Amino acid sequence: MLEPSQIRALLEARHGDPFAALGLHADDSGRLWLRALLPGARAVGVVEAAGGRAVVSLAEREPGFFEASIPRRRKRFDYRLAVQWQDGASGEYADAYAYGPLLAEQDLALLQAGRHPRPYELLGAHAQDGGVRFAVWAPNARRVSVVGSFNGWDGRRHPMRLRHEAGVWEIFVPHAALGDLYKYEIVGADGELLPLKADPYARAAQLRPETASIVAALPAIRSLPADRAEANARRAAISIYEVHAASWRRADGGFPSWDELAASLPAYAAELGFTHLQLLPISEHPFDGSWGYQTLGLYAPSSRFGPPEGFARFVDACHAAGLGLLLDWVPAHFPADPHGLARFDGTALYEYADPREGFHRDWNTLIPNFGRDEVRQYLAGNALYWIERWRVDGLRVDAVASMLYRDYSRPAGEWIPNVQGGRENLEAIALLRRTNELVGEQAPGAITVAEESTSFPGVSAPTSAGGLGFHYKWNMGWMNDTLRYMREDPIHRRWHHDKLTFGLVYAFSENFVLPLSHDEVVHGKGSLLGKMPGDDWQRYANLRAYYGFMWGHPGKKLLFMGQEFAQVSEWNHDTQLPWDLLDDPRHAGVQRLVKDLNRLYREQPALHRLDCEAAGFEWRVADDAEQSVLAWLRKDGQGGQVLVISNFTPVPRSGYRIPVPAGVKSWHEVLNTDSAHYGGSNVGNLDAPLRAVDGTITLNLPPLATLFLLPVAGDGECA
């Protein structure tokens, strides 16, 4: 019989090794004893698993603790516990303490070393035949129990087995099932009982403000369709429609389901000619107002939009519409909510312990301990999880600059230099490189995009060449410079001409995406239309000219939702987009322009094939600051070319001369942002082809407009 002191330890949930005490055990004489800890039970019997024949009734030695020797048996056997509960319910259950160790030693060794490419396959909740296997990393905990809807949230019912080599706790709960709620009850090394913790590897979670994890199926690994890999390539046309799923369309005031979004969003984006959708973070997060950028459930699609399987259908709908899907991914920080990662096992486990490294001053969040192998493994594995389990095309990695520098947004004396005495976070750099290498090795064709706002070298260079290994980088400098220019009254733009030309000095140092993202239309910044100067007509004309300039400029494109139809107000995440604006021809005209820009961008290889290479660009007019005119060629490296001209004053300019390449005799206008079709004044050059004379063409420049010209078919090198 078990010693009374051990029984008390079990009942008080402080036993060091419950698997050594509970379940079926032999004493020194070889006699079998069976012990069960079932608080709330009135009577417990043992029956054979096959046939259900009664074997013995267990005696209740203490309330909730049952024990008896097994008569006439010397060998272990498969049994069930027949339980009558005090509330009158009853049932037969397999015993969680009848199972041996669950995770293989070699897997634990990989987890401990931080080298497992898919840690989510081992940790978390995994439904199996007859129950659920739970495993959680908490190396400094004194005790960990899984609690949930299957055991009355009682931490005494299922204390877990510690696998000391890796600090992993595990248990198989036979009667748990898909859909069950659960958390971990953890006692820290100091004996303190912590707030119940959600599972860092949970694949589903309750809708806020509830915080429990949900047992969910692990999606199968699915490779990207072959056509998607090609569509993500550096020489492909990539035009991204950035979306906050909760506020794109929510007519009834509630969150749309994934199936509702799948029925309309992919078709809308595809109709406008975008090649990719990008969603603001959809991982589970506690606060709506963070837009997902303060996530606590990195492995769980947010329950705001329904169950996870709905997200799988949404991904398929995007691909069926010919769209790639990118997700915003946030490895840079996490909130300190007590049910989350903060002091997960009573210590700074997932975060840096020193606030000079581990506290983010801008967002009041915690910074992951990028120097810890298991934390880097948790994050890199999560990146691969979204790509190969949900078949998304790639990840846009948020706040990379804050990861790269230890002094990011910190005054002198409030940050810790790296081991070399520098300001770079070498540990975060190692994580980013490892993540990009892992994605490249395991999910070829998928892409990663860095939101990085500094001049850190080689962000989109291969790791083999010393780079970070991203496929693309947001060009924040281009965005800031050009928006500052567009805010200027046209009469003053001559003094700021360099803001449009400077970007070409470094345009090919990285593989750039030109982002007009949600960040430019929040926090009092107003809408893009609201940034434009002048009277009402000029504001719309300025925006149309700016879009033309952007689509003609080297670099992939990104536009935040609502800006495709010139949203008037700043974006509000609590309401849907103001779709009624499309009843106004000015807004419908801007939407038609975006559609035609996307069409032209995709149809003309010269506008996208060498987006990231200097050979794809050539200035024709770069220095006409006085008249705020620019002209340049886009080339595809195979003879194709497009001439792009922007006039950023409200003055029409007739007889303007542009030097053109030798060998092309005539050009014709194929898109004019001043067309009446888009709401413009219809000044242009549609009457006849523009013939080159002495190496120049003479044309009419419409006010506040961008033109696209192609060589006339049969009259030059290409059409």
Residue 395, helix vs strand vs coil: strand
d(CA 328, CA 310): 18
Whether the pLDDT of residue 415 is over 90: the answer is yes
| CATH 3.40.980.10 given to domain 476-607 | no
Compute the mean pLDDT over every residue in the chain, rounded to the nearest whole number: 94
Per 3-state DSSP, the chain is made up of helix, strand and coil in percentages (nearest 5) of 30, 25, 45
Locate 103 and state its tokens.
Answer: 């995770």
Whether the pLDDT of residue 475 is over 60: the answer is yes
Does residue 716 contact residue 688 with C-beta atoms inside 8 Å?
A: no
What totals of helices (H) and strands (E) does the chain contain, helices first? 16, 34
pLDDT band per the 50, 70, 90 thresholds, residue 715 = low
> Is the CA virtual torsion 334, 121, 390, 174 positive or negative?
negative
End-to-end CA distance of the chain: 92
Which string of DSSP letters, residue by residue, matches 88-120? S-EEEE--GGG----S-HHHHHHHHHT--S-GG
Residue type, 640: G
Return the CATH class of domain 105-214: mainly beta
Q: Which residues are catalytic?
A: 398, 451
d(CA 561, CA 373): 38
184, 187, 192, 198: CA torsion to nearest 10: -20
Does residue 279 contact residue 326 with C-beta atoms inside 8 Å?
A: yes
Locate 527 and state its tokens.
Answer: 């809408």
Query: Region 6-16: what's the mean pLDDT?
Result: 89
Q: Say if 4-98 and 476-607 have the same CATH topology.
A: no
Q: What's the whole-model pTM score?
A: 0.94
- The angle formed by the CA atoms of residues 308, 311 and 317, to the nearest 5 degrees, is 155
Does residue 651 contact residue 703 with C-beta atoms inside 8 Å?
A: yes
d(CA 294, CA 292): 5
- For residue 539, give the H/E element and its range: helix 536-552
Residue spans per domain, the chain: 4-98, 105-214, 226-474, 476-607, 615-711
Whether the pLDDT of residue 66 is over 50: the answer is yes
Whether the pLDDT of residue 107 is over 80: the answer is yes
Locate 118 and state its tokens.
Answer: 């898919």
Does residue 34 contact residue 27 with C-beta atoms inside 8 Å?
A: no
Does residue 229 contact residue 324 with C-beta atoms inside 8 Å?
A: no
- The angle formed by the CA atoms of residues 68, 71 and 74, to the nearest 5 degrees, is 105
d(CA 261, CA 310): 10
- State which fold the 226-474 domain adopts: TIM Barrel (3.20.20)
Taking only the tens place, the pLDDT of each residue in 194-237 is 999 999 999 999 999 999 999 999 999 988 878 888 889 999 99
Range with the poorest average pLDDT among 161-175, 524-538, 705-719: 705-719
pLDDT band per the 50, 70, 90 thresholds, residue 144 = very high
Whether the pLDDT of residue 574 is over 80: the answer is yes
Locate 507 and state its tokens.
Answer: 């345009």
- State which fold the 615-711 domain adopts: Immunoglobulin-like (2.60.40)
d(CA 381, CA 200): 12
pLDDT band per the 50, 70, 90 thresholds, residue 28 = confident
Taking only the tens place, the pLDDT of each residue in 224-270 is 878 888 889 999 999 999 999 999 998 777 899 999 999 999 999 99
Locate 511 and state its tokens.
Answer: 């593989």
Whether the pLDDT of residue 717 is over 80: the answer is no
Pick the CATH number of 4-98 from 3.30.2420.10, 2.60.40.10, 1.10.540.10, 3.10.105.10: 2.60.40.10
Taking only the tens place, the pLDDT of each residue in 420-432 is 999 999 999 999 9
d(CA 102, CA 200): 19
